[in-house]
Amino acid sequence: MAQAPTPSTASAGQSDTPARTVPGPLQAAFDALDRSGGPWCLLRGAADLAPSGGDVDVLVHPRGLASARRALAETGFVEIPASGRGSHRFFFACDPTADRWIKLDVVTELAFGRHQELPLDAAEDCLERRLAGARPPRLHPDDAFWTYLLHALLDRRHLRPNDIEQLRDLAAEAGAGSPLATTVGPLLPGGWTPARIIEAARRGDATALTVVGRAVRRRWVRRAPLRVASRLVTAWTARRVGGPAFLLRQRGLGVALLGPDGAGKSTISARLVDGAFPVPVRRVYLGLYGRGAGGGDRGPSGRFGLPGRLAWLERHSLVARWHQAHGRLVVYDRHVLDVMVGSGGGPVGARARVRRWLLLHAVPRPDLMIVLDVPGDELFRRKAEHDPATLERRREGYLALAGRIRGAVVIDGSADLAVVQRAVVDRIWAAYGARATAAAARSRRG
């Protein structure tokens, strides 16, 4: 298809974003996509390029996906597995200047609906018409309007106030010449044309657009019922089976947060669960005594002695393995590795060594061990359950344990909580990124 005339890019929906407003990691990703050689453009998210923004959607040519993946990996973006999401590929990187995660949603086709069950064969046409001279490259204004409209009406099936504002801005420069408008035109209800749709968007007529969207969906399904049904079944199956199947390439990470009482293990793990990490996080308690994470489980009862403890640990280990099989990050804010930390340094008898061996082999070894190091007097001020001298000996025991385990990390837990959390997240993200890179390499070889 011939390149369409390049219109003005001064509208709110398609204007160039000054380089100074684009976070460094995101700008690096755009530069890497330019170097990858394949055509690409911003699909949605022009308003979210500033540090306070959100997700950024990118359209790449299907034949350029492999090179785009390699280019993004070289800039530090990590691909997070997501089964049953059509052509969507999710990449994350941390922007340390704004202390937030940057998410790139990379697609190779234009497909709509909650499960991408309504595809349009228009991605290559849109890439040919893109505003390649804009930085970053943008969709042609006609295509930008229709992709956003179909996304809002078919993915969510209702228009939010922000959608109305976005559509009004995009409609100011939009026309009916988009290949998407040509495809959708026959699906419009009686009396409606692409030009009338654009006019309704300019007026902000959410009611009319919503009614039209429902009609388009019904007609779309009736026109290609087998194709729609096939994509729905494929997405449903992949979301439920794809997680465990991905175990063959990349399983979730198991992280043990260790340290004496008062070091901040439970607080940090709770923050990870509450959204400080871009991967779904689950806490699993694998300690020997006391109340489990969240206060809902008192831990292994001593009623049945060592056999009871081993059975309890095995049951919770299965929970941890299940979550890791689904690609989740599993955080242990207690772990039986605590048994290796002595409080007095005396000799260990044969019976104690056998008990220790059984306990350590009843649970999965963590992929990463992080010790939160806090001086004994500070631990006493935080949680005065033991005297400072005892707490200092416990601290020294954890430091000695970290020295014996390969890859263990020691983090200063006496710093401000936000600083400690950032350091923990950085360490986990580095380990997760290394595993994802290795899994991608195995996938390419396979």
Three-state SS across the chain?
Answer: CCCCCCCCCCCCCCCCCCHHHCCHHHHHHHHHHHHHCCCEEEEECHHHCCCCCCCEEEEECHHHHHHHHHHHHHCCCEEECCCCCCCCEEEEEEECCCCEEEEEEEECCEEECCCCCEEECCHHHHHHHCECCCCCCECCHHHHHHHHHHHHHHHCCCCCHHHHHHHHHHHCCCCCCCHHHHHHHHHCCCCCCHHHHHHHHHHCCHHHHHHHHHHHHHHHHHHCHHHHHHHHHHHHHHHHHHHHHHHHCCCCCEEEEECCCCCCHHHHHHHHHHHHCCCCEEECCCCCCCCCHHHCCCCCCCCCHHHHHHHHHHHHHHHHHHHHHCCCEEEECCCHHHHHCCCCCCCCCHHHHHHHHHHHCCCCCCCEEEEEECCHHHHHHHCCCCCHHHHHHHHHHHHHHHHHCCCCEEEECCCCHHHHHHHHHHHHHHHHHHHHHHHHHHHHHC
**Residue 10: per-residue pLDDT:** 38
**Residue 342: per-residue pLDDT:** 64
In this structure, are 171 and 238 located in the same domain?
yes
In this structure, are 107 and 55 located in the same domain?
yes
**Residue 79: per-residue pLDDT:** 87
In this structure, are 240 and 192 located in the same domain?
yes
In this structure, are 373 and 304 located in the same domain?
yes
Q: Is residue 93 part of a domain?
A: yes
- Higher local confidence (pLDDT), 386 or 45: 386
Q: What average pLDDT does the chain have? A: 83
How far is 85 from 72, CA to CA, in rounded Å? 20
Q: Is residue 351 part of a domain?
A: yes
What domain count does the chain have?
2
What CATH code is carried by the domain that includes residue 433?
A: 3.40.50.300
pLDDT digits (tens, 9 = 90+) for 192-219: 999 999 999 999 999 999 999 999 999 9
In this structure, are 205 and 56 located in the same domain?
yes
Domain-ending residue, one of 244, 277, 302: 244
In this structure, are 234 and 295 located in the same domain?
no
What is the CA angle 343-345-349, rounded to 5? 105
In this structure, are 413 and 349 located in the same domain?
yes
**Beta-bridge partner residues of 331:** 255, 283
Specify the range with the lowest mean pLDDT, choosing from 44-58, 373-387, 412-426. 44-58
Query: Hey, how many other C-beta atoms are within 10 angstroms of the C-beta on 446?
Result: 7
How far is 427 from 366, CA to CA, in rounded Å? 14
**Residue 289: per-residue pLDDT:** 67
**Beta-bridge partner residues of 112:** 118
Domain-ending residue, one of 244, 271, 293: 244
**Residue 331: per-residue pLDDT:** 94
Q: Is residue 4 part of a domain?
A: no
Residue 150 has pLDDT above 90, yes or no: yes
Q: Is residue 35 part of a domain?
A: yes
Residue 296 has pLDDT above 50, yes or no: no
**Residue 50: per-residue pLDDT:** 58
Specify the range with the lowest mean pLDDT, choosing from 192-206, 279-293, 330-344, 387-401. 279-293
Question: Do residues 90 and 68 touch, judged by C-beta distance below 8 A?
Answer: no
**Residue 211: per-residue pLDDT:** 94
Task: Tell me what the mean pLDDT of segment 131-152 comes to.
Answer: 93
**Residue 442: per-residue pLDDT:** 62
In this structure, are 89 and 174 located in the same domain?
yes
pLDDT category at 257 given cuts 50, 70, 90 is very high
pLDDT digits (tens, 9 = 90+) for 74-130: 888 988 877 778 889 999 988 877 778 888 999 999 999 989 999 998 999 999 999
In this structure, are 264 and 377 located in the same domain?
yes
Q: Is residue 265 part of a domain?
A: yes
pLDDT category at 151 given cuts 50, 70, 90 is very high
Question: Do residues 254 and 335 touch, judged by C-beta distance below 8 A?
Answer: no
The boundaries of the domain holding residue 216 are 19-244
Residue 428 has pLDDT above 90, yes or no: yes
In this structure, are 67 and 39 located in the same domain?
yes
206-223 and 225-245 helices, crossing angle to 10°: 90
In this structure, are 285 and 216 located in the same domain?
no
Q: Is residue 220 part of a domain?
A: yes
Domain-ending residue, one of 180, 215, 244: 244
Phi and psi torsions of 32, nearest 5°: -65, -40
Percent of the chain with pLDDT over 90: 47
206-223 and 161-171 helices, crossing angle to 10°: 90
Burial of 194 (0-12, 13-18, 19+ CB in 10 A): buried
Q: Are strands 281-283 and 329-332 parallel, antiparallel or unpaired?
A: parallel
Q: Is residue 291 part of a domain?
A: yes
In this structure, are 203 and 337 located in the same domain?
no
Q: Is residue 209 part of a domain?
A: yes
Residue 170 has pLDDT above 80, yes or no: yes
pLDDT digits (tens, 9 = 90+) for 346-391: 556 788 888 888 888 888 889 999 999 999 999 998 887 788 898 9
